[in-house]
């Protein structure tokens, strides 16, 4: 699939998912197509473009030339003269910018609901929060619209949305990605982060964005610290975390129980101490002058920081210094920590009922990372009650590549594209979940297929690749352990088979296809865009 075709498929996908709250400013399709033509010319001229044709979204507090930077506050908007360095580096590497994404206003929140542009609904279940503050960026990737997205992370904003939407969130060591051109939340600890669907894709973007530096690489066998007491977690989450830890152990890592009390104490300091005053220094005067333009929860948090006395900051700095030494002692015994990314996955209604309390609980494991100057990587680790569950690797400063190496440890899995009775909520989905299947993403195939309703029990569609007249078909991508995949494939009945299915991003994964002879006389349901569209007609 050409870059131009990929752009058209992305805008088709945007229209089909109908999630306008993802975007603050979506660029016109014609403008992105014009950029794609220039990009093709650059490649034809021999330019090396490691992110060639990757579609990227950018959090709305990061400058994108030609689009207003608002931080989800229209009254705050300004029009930047140039891209932020991280955006410029994306373009230089061959990525195409789709637009700026919604966020918890002024990057203050971990829920994704604190925005005049509306709550960004979860990619998997719209009744649940997407996580914040980098909500729109995460959902754009999870829904298969963008390949990559930029977020920011001060207290977990680049990791919690990744966990809630089943994708990867890479939060680098402070200083490795420049923060110039970013509306600050807490300028001294802010980080630009990367969202992607896989660790390798996130690392590839990180390599293009980061300041040149030799970073240490991991050496096996890895020692991974797991908490002696993680505190209360939502029902099912402790079991999911234990299962994730076992996967690392079974892949050859040594698990070591460690005391994480210093990390938890530092996490509480971020909002319960004086460090929150830095948020007031960033945008407090604007909020004082425009109180009605600001989300009430954001106004309350930042406004209260105005009255924190200076002596408290020095007291908290001394306390943080002691906690840093204790945390460093723990990390000196292991390659990294393995933690749940967060504590629970609330619904939008739960956040509306208790906006500050829920938000505070979500940051238990993430709030301390930047205060302590550490690196972190959030990765998917299965599901709980049908929703994504994620874990977080935390390492010392500049352990970014080590974390990626550790993340790659987990047992090898393969992906499969499904388009019918194996979709979530459909009668055969259990054949995936019972074999350890994990939902990865939803999105369209390439525009190369026709879909037919087969006369089977239970009803199933048949996907047929055609030389012309094809259209994109909605699909879900799941991953399975190799053993589970082999068992699953062995049970696929004719006329269905497992072949290669081309997705809208040009990649090919194993997936359900149908023998062309089996669709003779079957109803062509391509016009409904997918099996669920056919069922809902």
* pTM (two decimals): 0.85
- Nearest Cα to Cα of residue 435 among 377, 382, 493: 382
Q: Spot the catalytic one: 59, 134, 135, 171.
A: 59
What pLDDT is recorded for position 139? 95
Assign residue 432 the CATH number of its domain: 3.10.490.10
Phi, psi of 148 (to 5 degrees): -135, 155
Q: To the nearest 10°, report the CA torsion of 85, 89, 90, 92.
A: 140
* Together in a domain, 372 and 492: no
* CB 100, CB 60: distance < 8 Å: yes
What pLDDT is recorded for position 411? 65
Q: Rounded CA gap, 182 and 188, in Å?
A: 12
Last residue of one domain, picked from the residues 375, 407, 439: 407
* Together in a domain, 80 and 201: yes
Is 309 inside a domain boundary?
no
What pLDDT is recorded for position 447? 95
Last residue of one domain, picked from the residues 377, 407, 437: 407
Is 270 inside a domain boundary?
no
- Nearest Cα to Cα of residue 416 among 387, 437, 395: 437
Q: How do residues 262-317 score in pLDDT, each as one tens digit?
A: 999 999 999 999 999 999 999 999 999 999 999 999 999 999 999 999 999 999 99
Q: Is 157 a catalytic residue?
A: yes
Q: For residue 5, what are the CA distances in angstroms to 44, 104, 151, 249?
A: 17, 32, 26, 43
Q: How do residues 178-219 score in pLDDT, each as one tens digit?
A: 999 999 999 999 999 999 988 999 999 999 999 888 899 888
Is 272 inside a domain boundary?
no
* Together in a domain, 339 and 437: no
* Together in a domain, 360 and 431: no
Q: Spot the catalytic one: 115, 130, 137, 157.
A: 157
* Together in a domain, 336 and 470: no
Q: How do residues 229-255 score in pLDDT, each as one tens digit?
A: 999 999 999 999 999 999 999 999 999
Assign residue 207 the CATH number of its domain: 3.90.1300.10
Is 74 inside a domain boundary?
yes
Q: Is 376 a catalytic residue?
A: no
5: left (phi over 0), alpha (psi -120 to 50) or beta: alpha
* Together in a domain, 83 and 225: yes
Q: Spot the catalytic one: 54, 115, 130, 133.
A: 133
Q: Is cis: bond before 133, omega within 30 of 0? A: yes
Q: Rounded CA gap, 403 and 366, in Å?
A: 16
Q: Is 171 a catalytic residue?
A: no
Is 284 inside a domain boundary?
no
Return the axis-axis angle of helices 310-331 and 261-272, rounded to nearest 10°.
160
* Domain of residue 387, residue span: 17-262+324-407
């Amino acid at each position: 699939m050409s870059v131009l075709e990929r752009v058209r498929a992305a805008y088709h996908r945007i229209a089909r998912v109908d999630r306008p709250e993802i975007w603050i400013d979506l660029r016109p399709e014609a403008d992105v197509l014009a950029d794609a033509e220039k990009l093709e010319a650059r490649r034809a001229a021999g330019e090396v473009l490691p992110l060639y044709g990757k579609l990227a979204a950018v959090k709305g507090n990061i400058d994108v030339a030609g689009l207003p930077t608002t931080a989800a506050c229209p009254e705050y908007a300004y029009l930047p003269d140039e891209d932020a360095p991280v955006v410029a580096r994306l373009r230089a590497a061959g990525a195409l910018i789709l637009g700026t994404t919604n966020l918890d206003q002024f990057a203050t929140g971990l829920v994704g609901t604190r925005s005049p542009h509306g709550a960004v609904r979860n990619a998997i279940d719209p009744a649940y929060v997407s996580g914040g503050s980098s909500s729109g960026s995460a959902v754009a990737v999870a829904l298969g619209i963008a390949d990559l997205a930029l977020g920011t992370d001060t207290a977990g904003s680049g990791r919690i949305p990744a966990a809630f939407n089943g994708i990867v969130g890479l939060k680098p060591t402070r200083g490795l990605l420049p923060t110039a051109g970013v509306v600050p939340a807490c300028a001294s600890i802010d980080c630009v982060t990367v969202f992607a669907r896989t660790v390798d894709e996130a690392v590839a973007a990180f390599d293009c964005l980061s300041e040149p530096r030799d970073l240490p690489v991991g050496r096996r066998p890895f020692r991974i610290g797991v908490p002696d007491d993680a505190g209360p977690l939502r029902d099912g989450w402790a079991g999911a975390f234990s299962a994730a830890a076992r996967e690392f152990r079974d892949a050859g890592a040594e698990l070591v129980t460690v005391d994480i009390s210093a990390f938890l104490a530092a996490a509480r300091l971020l909002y319960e101490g004086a460090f929150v005053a830095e948020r007031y220094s960033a945008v407090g005067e604007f909020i004082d002058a425009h109180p009605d333009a600001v989300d009430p929860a954001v106004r309350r948090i930042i406004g209260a920081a105005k009255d924190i006395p200076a002596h408290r900051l020095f007291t908290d700095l001394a306390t943080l210094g002691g906690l840093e030494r204790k945390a460093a002692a723990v990390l000196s015994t292991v390659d990294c920590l393995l933690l749940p990314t967060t504590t629970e996955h609330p619904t939008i209604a739960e956040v509306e009922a208790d906006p500050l309390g829920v938000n505070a609980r979500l940051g238990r494991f993430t709030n301390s990372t930047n205060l302590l100057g550490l690196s972190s990587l959030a990765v998917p680790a299965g599901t709980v009650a049908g929703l994504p569950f994620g874990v977080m690797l935390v390492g010392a400063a500049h352990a970014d590549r080590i974390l990626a190496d550790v993340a790659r440890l987990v047992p090898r899995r393969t992906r499969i594209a499904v388009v019918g009775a194996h979709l979530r909520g459909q009668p055969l989905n259990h054949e995936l979940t019972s074999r350890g299947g994990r939902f990865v993403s939803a999105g369209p195939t390439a525009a190369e297929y026709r879909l037919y309703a087969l006369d089977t029990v239970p009803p199933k569609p048949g996907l047929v690749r055609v030389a012309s007249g094809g259209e994109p078909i909605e699909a879900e991508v799941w991953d399975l352990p190799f053993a589970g995949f082999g068992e699953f494939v062995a049970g696929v009945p004719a006329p269905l088979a497992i072949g290669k299915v081309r997705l809208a991003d040009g990649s090919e994964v194993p997936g359900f296809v149908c023998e062309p002879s089996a669709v003779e006389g079957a109803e062509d349901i391509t016009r409904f865009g997918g099996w669920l569209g056919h069922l809902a007609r």
